[in-house]
Structure 1
Amino acid sequence: MSDEIRTAAEAYEADALPRLYEAHTDPERTRAQDREVPKCVSDTPVSKKSPAQWAYERVVLYLKNFEEQLDNEHEVAMGFTGSGAGTGVLRIEGMGYFDPDIVTFYGADPTGGRTQLVQHVSQLNVVLRALPKEIKDEKPNRIGFRLVEDLEKANAAAS
């Protein structure tokens, strides 16, 4: 139980979550709300998830949706600004969260240097980018698909 005091409007809004909506100029474009949310995400009520877990799960679904629209010559990466490290791009190789409010991305910068971005959920901004894959002859890495599989396994183990 929380000592947090919420207004009736905040309580009503929280009960209405989650909602998802997108609009695009191309009516044929795949929209996230047209896809079924995996049971591993929808089975646990939002009120039972930490802000970190809830942010993580939604970013995972966006990653997977983004990757489904890529050709076999590209992989997902994220762009960011104000990093201090000056890298600007992180090829996503992993993702995680630390309850109650930290989300982290693991990967490599454009020079191949190991990179980790640790971010508070209140500051979470993710720009998904398509980058050419590193090794021409191999299949592209699809981290979003692996992350959803991992969520499903964790949900099955908790059941």
Structure 2
Amino acid sequence: MLVLRVFQDEDPYFPREVLHTMKGGGKILNLSSFRDNSYSSPLDFAMYVRLFAVYLDDRLDCFIKGKLQKRVAYHKREKEQAASTITRDMKLSMLLDWITYWQRLLGRAMVTRPTGAAKDNGLVRLSLYSVVQESFDLYRDISDGLALLLDSFFNLQ
């Protein structure tokens, strides 16, 4: 959750540190061998943490490649206007490239869901709530981008 909050708030130093760590061969979000022995059903929690880490890793990849835009506005109307201007100002080739990344990230968000005892955990629910919110933003960006591509379909080379 801490990493997700840092992503959402866009700390200016965090991406630099991540890039520096990745250049040295380290992987910040590699939790593929994560195990939890503190609960009676550790597999549910461990699986959710792994899936959440994969989502964060893909989100980090999109962020580093510049495929994600900061969501500054919090009011619904302002948020929709900000999202529509993100896709409207792009070149079509760039938009097509970005949509591919957004679709992959949306797919990761859809797979990130708790099972078993992890469904009832407060921290799991809080992290899932953040993923769901971001998935709505991604879906809106994908829809706006596809609408622009369809509008200009006959003008494409």
The TM-score with structure 1 as length reference comes to 0.28
Higher strand content, 1 or 2? 1
Higher helix content, 1 or 2? 2
